[in-house]
Amino acid sequence: MADLFSLDGKVAMITGGSRGLGWAMARAMAEAGAHVVINGRDGATVDARVAELAGDGLAASAAPFDVTDANAPGEVAGVAARLGRLDVFVANAGIVHRGALDDVTIDDWRRIIDTNLTACFTLAHAASRAMVKQGSGTIIMMGSIMGGIARTGVPAYVASKGGIAALTRALAVELGPAGVTCNAIAPGYISTDMTADAEAVPAFDALIKQRTPLGRWGRAEEIASVAVFLASPAASYVNGHVLTADGGLTVAL
């Protein structure tokens, strides 16, 4: 049974993999046996993460670039060419802009949609070419419970994550016949550097704990374990699914 969850021999690329959920997923996949390719905008931070994994005897390499750059798809293709294959691609890089609707500019909107949705499409498309050629692979999109519900103050983020859920289904249908699966993870409220400001607000912290049946915020490693499952042979017949990991928040009144 343990072999079903092994990533031995696989190459896994994680965008936004040097911090937060991306870093947790990168480490978890490396520990499961994958050679992980860590992407991030800051080359020094990416290199430090690669060195950290290497110091633990794990296989990793760096791919520093901005996912919204026009040449970013070529960077993904380059990884597949350099390492000879690409088995797992995790579209994790994302941003959020918090503010009232009247304060959201068209530039804010475009920046979030470009990062959270458009880049996921262009890079997953690039990854899929290598996967289709080798006849196997899996794409994992980082969604959110905000893809199915909403709260005030983050309209562009909500729209981008709703788009991720739809894109996941579209790619699953498109790529399935070639042996490539596509699924998404929809985390609830997870303690990371991206959510630190919100978690630090006592009233909001109390609200999340009250609304969540498990009574707490999630941990990054609890999302990383979901990613390892979706990347592994254990999930070989899971395709087009958005896996919610929110402690029960979205099923509670």
The residue assigned the tokens 């949705």 is 117
Q: Do 11 and 60 form a contact (C-beta atoms < 8 A)?
A: no
Helices H, strands E: what count in the chain? 9, 7
Give 29-56 as a DSSP string.
Answer: HHHTT-EEEEEES-HHHHHHHHHHHHHT
For residues 201 and 209, give the distance between their C-alpha atoms in angstroms, rounded to a whole number.
12
Catalytic annotation on 157?
yes
For residues 184 and 251, give the distance between their C-alpha atoms in angstroms, rounded to a whole number.
18
- The phi-psi region of residue 179 (left if phi > 0; otherwise alpha if psi is between -120 and 50; otherwise beta) is left
- Catalytic entry in 89, 157, 189, 229: 157
For residues 160 and 166, give the distance between their C-alpha atoms in angstroms, rounded to a whole number.
10
Q: Residue 56 contacts by C-beta under 8 Å, 6 or more apart in sequence?
A: none
Coil, helix or strand for 183?
A: strand
Q: Do 129 and 86 form a contact (C-beta atoms < 8 A)?
A: no
| Residue 100: Cβ-neighbour burial (10 angstroms; 0-12, 13-18, 19+) | exposed
Q: Residue 126: enclosing H or E segment and its boundaries?
A: helix 119-134
* Enzyme catalytic residues: 157
